[in-house]
Amino acid sequence: MKKFPSFILLLMPSDRTKYYAGYYEQNRAKKLAYQNAYYERMKGHIKGNKELMDLLEPEEAVRKRQKYLDYQKHYRQMRRQKVNAVKPEGQ
């Protein structure tokens, strides 16, 4: 459990879930803006790395792309089995 300075504990309500719910609600816009900026930055990095890989090592880029597609296919099959196992009869 996180240790808080004693003065913060006095300001915090006895039910911390209310405190954190209010905190996250108040800072929701900031958090979403940060997440969107981070997503755009990472998207740019990934795109740049892919372009470099395509130029410098095209065979390796094709191999990595195929490995990624195989992983996605396997994951979808695994999830489909789990979802179908949970579905009630007649659906």
pLDDT tens column, 3-12: 666 655 566 6
- What is the total count of domains within the chain? 1
Give the global pTM: 0.52
Q: Is residue 67 part of a domain?
A: yes
Percent helix, strand and coil across the chain, each to the nearest 5: 80, 0, 20
Q: Which residues contact 31 (CB under 8 A, 6 or more apart)?
A: 24
* Domain range for 81: 15-85
The confidence score (pLDDT) of residue 85 equals 86
Q: Is residue 34 part of a domain?
A: yes
